Amino acid sequence: MSHSYQATKRHASEALLAGFEPDFEFTAVPPLPQAEYEERLRRIRREAVLAGHDVLVVHTDMIGWMHTSNAYLRYICDWMREGLLIIPTDSDREMVLLSMFSQSVLLPPAGEPMLVDEIWQVGAWGREYADRPGSSTTKAVQACAAALQRLGFADAQIGHLGDRTSGPVWSGLQAALPRAKLIPASDIVDRMQRVRSVREQALFRGAAQLIDIGIQAARHVTRPGVTDHEIYAAFTYAQLARGGETGDGYQIGIDAYGTHCGKPYGHVVRPGDLINLYISNVTYRGYTAQSARMFAVGDITSAQEDVLAMCAEGVKRAERLIRPGALVRDVNNAAFEPYVERGYLADAEARTMPYNWEAMPDGQPRLVPRQYVPSPDWEAQGRRLMHVYPAQRGPHNPNLGHSVGLAGGSNGYNISSHNYDRLEPGMVFVLHTQWLDPLVAGCNVGDCYLVTDTGFENLTCHTPLEVYRIPA
306: domain CATH number is: 3.90.230.10
Query: Of the ranges 137-141, 202-206, 401-405, which one carries the lowest mean pLDDT score?
Result: 137-141
Q: Does 15 fall in a domain?
A: no
pLDDT tens digit string along 256-282? 998 888 999 999 999 999 999 999 999
Q: What pLDDT score does 414 carry? A: 96
User: Does residue 237 sit in the same domain as residue 327?
Assistant: yes
Q: What pLDDT score does 331 carry? A: 98
pLDDT tens digit string along 242-254? 999 989 889 999 9
User: Does residue 359 sit in the same domain as residue 373?
Assistant: yes
User: Does residue 175 sit in the same domain as residue 202?
Assistant: no
User: Does residue 177 sit in the same domain as residue 269?
Assistant: no
User: Does residue 157 sit in the same domain as residue 243?
Assistant: no
pTM for this prediction: 0.94
Task: Identify which of 341, 339, 369, 342 has the alpha carbon closest to the alpha carbon of residue 354.
Answer: 339
pLDDT tens digit string along 113-172? 999 989 998 877 888 878 988 888 889 999 999 999 999 999 999 999 998 889 999 999
**468: part of which helix (H) or strand (E)?**
strand 468-470
- Identify the three-state secondary structure at position 159: strand
Residues 6+ apart with CB under 8 A from 151: 55, 86, 88, 93, 96
Residue 215: what are its φ and ψ, rounded to 5°? -65, -40
Q: How far is residue 289's CA from residue 89's CA, in Å, rounded to a whole number?
A: 33
> Range of 273's domain?
198-470
